[in-house]
């Protein structure tokens, strides 16, 4: 559990830095949100994971488009992780 807690803290920090430097709607922020969502799902927090996946997907769709490989990957990871 200690490693998960540390990873969670680092992802949260990376998201904050990304939002500040790149903007909250940058595709790189979406990737970090997706990674944190995966981690939270592994810890059993499916509700928060789903919200983060949805936010990441919305960012990616808006900035890159629905057919972009990153958007498709986020959608696939969301389906796989939350199924």
The two structure tokens encoding residue 22:
């790149």
1: confidence class by pLDDT, cuts 50, 70, 90: low
Mean local confidence (pLDDT), 20-27 = 98
Cite the DSSP H helix spans in 1-83: 2-21, 27-42, 46-64, 69-82
C-alpha angle 71-75-78 in degrees, rounded to nearest 5: 140
pLDDT by residue (tens digit) across 32-63? 999 999 999 999 999 999 999 999 999 999 99
In this structure, the chain runs to a length of 83
Q: What is the pTM of this model?
A: 0.94
The two structure tokens encoding residue 49:
């994971």
Q: Is 26 exposed, middle or buried (0-12, 13-18, 19+ CB in 10 A)?
A: middle
């Amino acid at each position: 559990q200690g490693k998960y807690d540390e990873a969670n803290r680092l992802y949260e920090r990376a998201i904050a830095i990304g939002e500040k430097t790149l903007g909250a709607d940058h595709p790189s922020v979406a990737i970090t949100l997706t990674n944190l969502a995966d981690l939270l799902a592994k810890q059993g927090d499916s509700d928060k994971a789903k919200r983060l996946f949805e936010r990441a997907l919305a960012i990616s769709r808006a900035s890159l488009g629905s057919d972009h490989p990153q958007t498709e990957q986020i959608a696939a990871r969301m389906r796989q992780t939350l199924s």
